[in-house]
Amino acid sequence: MKELFHKVKTASRALALVEDAQRNLLLEHLADAILANQDMLLEANKRDLEQMDSQDPLYDRLLLTPDRLQGIASDMRHVASLPSPLGIVTKERTLENGLYLRRVSVPFGVIGLIYEARPNVSFDVFSLCFKSGNACLLKGSRNAQHSNEAIVGLIHQTLQADSLPVDVVALMPPTHEATAELLNAVGYVDLCIPRGGKKLIEFVRDNARVPVIETGAGVVHAYFDKDGDLQKGQAIVNNAKTRRVSVCNALDCLLVHKDRVGDLPALLEPMKDKVCIHQPKEGEPFDWDREWMSYDLSIRVVDSMDEALQHIQAHGSGHSECIITENDEAALRFQREVDAACVYVNAPTSFTDGAQFGLGAEIGISTQKLGPRGPMALEEMTTYKWLINGNGQTRK
């Protein structure tokens, strides 16, 4: 495995010499290749799908379709069209002694990504890493191995056709041993990002010797305030819950103010034939920390906004939270006090997405506070270094 790590590390240095125009052209060519090789990609994905129960919450994440491939290609073109995140001067000053200082954005180098059954992530990660000058090591799951092999094979073909180093992306074996080696690849991997469920993220955080940024599981809430608009609430709750139930920004728990309990049947009306409602029975334990990833929804009636905020503080994962209200003071308080990467007023949490934010694509949604937070796109794929120009100055 060290030989593979060495190749990718070496390729990351070569990538630093590639002009942004060349990177953009490669991404355009790859977007074309995705559509031209749609049948091959779907056939590989079909082999993976045949090995998974269609009722498994991961099935929808694993699924590729012509529309999804079209969306992936479109996102890739969007990434290509964005300004380069590299070489941006974020601070500059001249000291009294004449030293000229600049803080300039640069790539991390090699980014390792560990992810579950989401083959679209392979394309998203490559496009963002390549555009931002990073090489990437992809560690997918067995569930998506055929899909990932086809995807990385297509990327390699496109890189080779454009006379660019193919080792800027590598697919690792879908084994626990490979995960362990990646997490311990000190000197080769500059940053590791886990993208998946709570268990995966906790395992990576607890076992990594390389730097880690967590992209979190989403235990997502919507609070229907006593001053919430019913029509807006219907659309927001339905979209947040049912648009795609397997994704991390999908709604898991609806909090309803006690004064609006009478509106609850109407609030749930748009999804009554799709969603299974779960409410605690008095005296029985209830798992408020569950990320459903299915057509299931927890509901809790709260006495006040204070209680809603306390619930979110106790059970939220720091991903995305939403309030539905026509009260400006309540909206302002909710956004000020809720501790999450994305906090919405009168809009569904389904918008938590790099492409929806106009960022092209994303590697994941960071729920931590140190470093990037929220959708991790091009800007978040860079670090910085200080450049200092002098003229013979010496320090006393």
In tens, the pLDDT along 119-148 reads 999 999 999 999 999 999 999 999 999 999
CATH number of the 220-351 domain: 3.40.309.10
Q: Say how far apart CA 102 and CA 383 lie, in whole Å.
A: 14
Burial (0-12, 13-18, 19+ Cβ within 10 Å), 283: exposed
CATH class of 2-215+363-389: alpha beta
State the virtual CA torsion across 101, 106, 110, 113 in degrees, nearest 10: 120
For the CA atoms of the chain, what is the radius of gyration?
23
Instruction: For the chain, give every domain's residue range.
Output: 2-215+363-389, 220-351
331-334 own/partner pairs: CB under 8 Å, 24+ apart: 333/305, 334/223, 334/305, 334/309
Averaged over successive runs of 10 residues, the pLDDT of the chain (396 residues) comes to 93 93 97 98 96 85 94 93 95 95 96 90 94 96 95 98 96 93 95 84 90 84 97 96 90 96 95 92 87 92 96 93 96 95 95 83 79 84 93 89
Q: Which 3 state secondary structure label does DSSP give 71? A: helix
